[in-house]
């Protein structure tokens, strides 16, 4: 097999893997938009906050230590214990639940029936507020995420492809793990929304707020629930991306990677987020390999993802899996 | 009551009779928030702590207290310019913009206002030519020096012959990241190596395509001009593809503890260029502990002392303080103006004897500044990360960059700037 074809296959496979990572971020957006019509600008910052909380709890860091020390003249930074990774993750899930409750109580509850743009603006405020809180709570230093996620080249794939083609493919173990987790996550979300009472209530609210309220579904409960689930998805995305780069402020920027995925897959479809992520991932990597790097000087992934999404928008404005918008006059 | 009034009157009378000595104002355009805060905080702390040390230990510089004016830029160019405008009226002696973008904006403004700018290891490289950039200084080294330091190191490791070798540059796709390209192209022509350019878009969280290409092309060495998250991801990707870390060299902005720690043990062997030493094994740290940290006056938690970026901030403050002292000496007054500070910077001479006197023996290269040379003598060294010890080790002595390549580039670029801005190059 010609070398270039093998390289293209390797790039495409890695693009698919990168797409799964994008989809993990996009899923959080979809969940909240589907249930409440809110485009949650704070989703990226939630991923940052969740990942910082996992590391902070795991290492026994005292929250708001700098603030406490500055006010009381103390020098405390750590409790002196370490929490196992699983314990830290579970505690973070509780923190994200509390966060969802606070957001609903202090912000969303007061904005029921407001225009979507107002709710969007509220999430912008929330994003900047949460950024500051995360910084103040856990510090701005870059933290190593140590929850046992495997990283580095997958030896089996390397060896197998080498035996087959005479060239070993590089696939990162972290990407494989992310794919497995994404598959579990999507399956769980679909099962939850199809077969549980809360899931059906969630779908009812997504279809029609007023109708759902009229049959006794609590909007507050549903919003807290969906923000908690989105918080958990943010936790997964934050950990996966944090394993690549360390847990740091830039994690909040991963939201930028989710936007073209949402444009392509639709804002209301969970499978759309996955398929959109895969198309964007493989499309941008193959474009960089075939055209970007050899002819355009490289670094085309960021803008090409948006070009690809725009192309899809032109032909299918609601996205690949989005619901068709029909407004009768 | 009467005695108290009399005493107060006496104190006021003495104060009125004494000459008024204004503080020596040093603005600090810091970034303690935003995506680059992890790097900005230790630098700002080192910068602040050094001036606190001077005040506490020596009563300032030449008997005049220093005053730090910290302004948060968030590493944002617009905010940086706002900080400049907000603080310049306070008698600011020198600006260290801490960002190439902010530096480019401040060059015309500060020149018009007569305030010197010191962009240490960043900013516009051709500002080395002081006859064109009268108010801008970039000693002791610049990006073009850095590119040359990296290539010289590779030459030294290959017995002086790198013809036919392949060197890749992974760079932030911005003006900053593109800075070394011209120098590397010149060096590639001179030494016969092949240069492979691999840009990474901001912020640099996804670099799979670049590192797959490196895996395919197998360059003998990889250089990196990165910043922020790009550094951590690049080092992790290099570990993932099992690239030999000892062949991977980053510029000084890709060589702090923040950049290597997230990759764990795999980052061991990674190298970085530097223009100052690392660690806390210097006499000045005893003074910092006694006069600053133990008194609770440290700008941060006091736990960053000795880290790469803290040392860089402290070194920047030390060079500013030395220039201020030089200005006081030249003009025969302790109460100096920004114009006098500029003169002090232009006459700055850093010798090993002086560094030892300051409690920083063997900390940085010796260099001198002149009108024609605002960039120092272009000395740098290589440090290597030891993950098991959790520390950087300096593995070479300081050596000079290839002046035959760099000086013509400086002359060409500064001449273009002079022509664009109707500046007549002169030293007066």
pLDDT for residue B21: 60
Any alpha helices (H) in B18-76, and if so which ranges? 37-53
A12-32 per-residue burial string, b: 16 or more CB within 10 A, e: under 16: bbbbbbbbbbbbbbbbbbbbb
What letter does residue A111 receive in the DSSP assignment? Answer: G
Question: Where is average pLDDT lowest: A61-75, A151-165, A195-209, B249-263?
Answer: A195-209
pLDDT for residue B18: 46
Q: B206 touching A, CB under 8 A?
A: yes
Distance, in angstroms, between B49 CA and closest chain A CA?
17
- Rounded to a whole number of angstroms, the distance between the first and last alpha carbons of chain A is 58
- Residue ranges covered by each domain of chain A: 3-315
Which of A135, A244, A300 has its CB closest to that of B236?
A244
At B234-262, the pLDDT tens digits run 999 999 999 999 999 999 999 999 999 99
Query: What is the rounded CA–CA span in Å between residue B245 and residue A56?
Result: 29
Q: B216 touching A, CB under 8 A?
A: yes
CB contact under 8 A, B236 and A289: no
pTM: 0.91
- A chain contacts of residue B240, beta-carbon cutoff 8 Å: 151-153, 170, 172
CB contact under 8 A, B212 and A144: no
Query: What is the rounded CA–CA span in Å between residue A40 and residue A233?
Result: 13
Q: Which CATH class is domain B22-141+278-377?
A: alpha beta
- Please state, as a whole number, how many other Cβ atoms lie within 10 Å of the Cβ of residue B393: 12
CB contact under 8 A, B205 and A257: yes
- B chain contacts of residue A257, beta-carbon cutoff 8 Å: 205-206
Tell me whether domains B22-141+278-377 and B143-274 share a fold: yes
- Please state, as a whole number, how many other Cβ atoms lie within 10 Å of the Cβ of residue A116: 12
Rg of chain B over all Cα atoms, to the nearest angstrom: 22
At B357-367, the pLDDT tens digits run 999 999 999 99
CB contact under 8 A, B233 and A241: no
Which of A66, A152, A245 has its CB closest to that of B262?
A245
Angle (nearest 5°) at CA B331 between B120 and B341: 20
Rounded to 5 degrees, φ, ψ at B130 are -70, -15
**Partner residues linked to A78 by β-bridges:** A61
Q: Hey, what are B194's tokens?
A: 């092949």
Query: What is the rounded CA–CA span in Å between residue B329 and residue B324?
Result: 9
- B chain contacts of residue A254, beta-carbon cutoff 8 Å: 205
Fold of B143-274: Rossmann fold (3.40.50)
CB contact under 8 A, B209 and A297: no
Place of tokens 């990165």: B226
Stretch 253-272 of chain B: residues touching chain A, C-beta under 8 Å: 258, 261-262, 264, 266
Query: What is the rounded CA–CA span in Å between residue B189 and residue B408?
Result: 15
The closest alpha carbon to B71, from B115, B26, B29, B40, belongs to: B29
Residue B205 · residue B236 · CB < 8 Å: no
At B124-142, the pLDDT tens digits run 999 999 999 999 999 999 9
- Residue ranges covered by each domain of chain B: 22-141+278-377, 143-274
Distance, in angstroms, between B262 CA and closest chain A CA?
5
The closest alpha carbon to B252, from B77, B382, B417, belongs to: B382
Query: What is the rounded CA–CA span in Å between residue B380 and residue B398?
Result: 5
Residue A36 has pLDDT above 90, yes or no: no
Residue A55 has pLDDT above 80, yes or no: yes
């Amino acid at each position: 097999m010609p070398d270039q074809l093998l390289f293209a296959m390797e790039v495409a496979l890695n693009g698919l893997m990168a797409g799964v990572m994008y989809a993990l971020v996009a899923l959080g957006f979809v969940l909240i938009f589907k249930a409440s019509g809110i485009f949650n600008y704070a989703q990226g910052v939630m991923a940052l906050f969740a990942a910082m909380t996992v590391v902070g709890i795991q290492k026994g860091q005292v929250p708001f230590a700098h603030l406490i020390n500055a006010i009381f003249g103390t020098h405390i930074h750590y409790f002196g214990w370490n929490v196992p990774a699983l314990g830290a993750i579970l505690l973070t899930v509780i923190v994200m639940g509390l966060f969802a409750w606070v957001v609903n109580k202090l912000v969303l509850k007061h904005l029921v029936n407001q225009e979507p743009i107002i709710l969007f603006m509220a999430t912008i405020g929330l994003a900047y507020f949460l950024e500051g809180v995360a910084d103040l709570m856990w510090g701005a230093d870059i933290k190593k995420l140590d929850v046992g996620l495997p990283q580095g080249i997958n030896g089996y794939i390397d060896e197998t492809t080498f035996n087959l083609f005479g060239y070993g493919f590089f696939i990162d173990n972290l990407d494989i793990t992310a794919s497995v987790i994404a598959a579990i996550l999507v399956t769980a979300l679909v099962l939850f929304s199809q077969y549980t009472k809360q899931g059906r209530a969630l779908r009812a609210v997504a279809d029609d707020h007023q109708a759902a309220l009229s049959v006794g579904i609590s909007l507050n409960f549903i919003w807290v629930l969906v923000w908690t689930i989105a918080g958990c998805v943010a936790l997964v995305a934050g950990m996966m991306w944090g394993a690549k780069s360390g847990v740091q402020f830039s994690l909040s920027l991963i939201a930028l990677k989710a936007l073209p995925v949402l444009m392509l897959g639709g804002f209301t479809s969970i499978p759309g987020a996955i398929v959109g992520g895969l198309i964007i991932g493989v499309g941008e990597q193959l474009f960089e390999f075939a055209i970007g790097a050899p002819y355009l000087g490289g670094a085309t992934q960021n803008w090409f993802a948006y070009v690809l999404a725009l192309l899809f928008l032109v032909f299918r404005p609601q996205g690949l899996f989005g619901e068709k918008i029909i407004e009768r006059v | 009551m009467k005695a108290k009034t009399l005493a107060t009157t006496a104190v006021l009378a003495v104060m009125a009779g004494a000459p008024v000595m204004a503080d020596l104002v040093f603005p600090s355009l810091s970034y303690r928030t935003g995506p680059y805060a992890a790097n900005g905080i230790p630098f700002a702390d080192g910068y602040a702590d050094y001036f606190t040390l001077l005040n506490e230990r020596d009563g300032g510089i030449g008997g005049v207290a220093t005053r730090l004016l910290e302004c948060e830029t968030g590493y944002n160019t617009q905010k940086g310019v706002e900080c400049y405008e907000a603080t310049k009226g306070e008698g600011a002696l020198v600006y260290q913009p801490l960002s190439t973008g902010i530096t480019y904006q401040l060059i015309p403004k500060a020149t018009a206002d007569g305030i010197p700018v010191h962009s240490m290891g960043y900013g516009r490289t051709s500002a080395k030519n002081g006859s064109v950039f009268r108010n801008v200084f970039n000693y002791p080294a610049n990006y073009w020096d850095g590119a040359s330091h990296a290539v010289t190191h590779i030459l030294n490791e290959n017995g002086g012959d790198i013809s036919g070798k392949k060197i890749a540059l992974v760079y932030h796709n911005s003006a900053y990241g593109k800075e070394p390209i011209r120098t590397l192209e010149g060096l590639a022509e001179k030494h016969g190596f092949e240069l492979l350019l691999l840009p990474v878009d901001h912020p640099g969280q996804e670099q799979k395509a670049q590192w797959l290409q490196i895996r395919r092309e197998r360059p003998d060495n990889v250089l990196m001009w990165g910043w922020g998250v790009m550094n951590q991801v690049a080092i992790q990707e290099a570990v993932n593809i099992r690239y030999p870390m000892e062949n991977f060299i980053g510029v000084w902005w890709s060589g702090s503890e923040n950049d290597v720690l997230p990759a764990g043990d795999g980052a061991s062997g990674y190298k970085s260029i530097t223009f100052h030493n690392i660690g806390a094994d210097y006499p000045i740290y005893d003074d910092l502990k006694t006069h600053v940290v133990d008194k609770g006056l440290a700008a941060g938690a006091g736990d960053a002392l000795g880290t790469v970026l803290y040392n860089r901030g402290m070194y920047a403050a030390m060079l500013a303080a030395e220039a201020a002292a030089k200005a006081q000496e030249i003009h025969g007054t302790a109460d100096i103006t920004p114009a006098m500070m500029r003169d002090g910077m232009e006459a700055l001479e850093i010798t090993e004897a002086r560094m030892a006197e300051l409690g920083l023996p063997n900390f940085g290269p010796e260099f001198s500044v002149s009108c024609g040379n605002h960039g120092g003598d272009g000395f740098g060294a290589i440090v290597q990360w030891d993950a098991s010890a959790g520390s950087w080790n300096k593995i070479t002595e300081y050596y000079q960059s290839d002046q035959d390549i760099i000086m013509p580039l400086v002359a060409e670029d500064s001449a273009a700037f002079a022509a664009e801005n109707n500046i007549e190059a002169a030293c007066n």
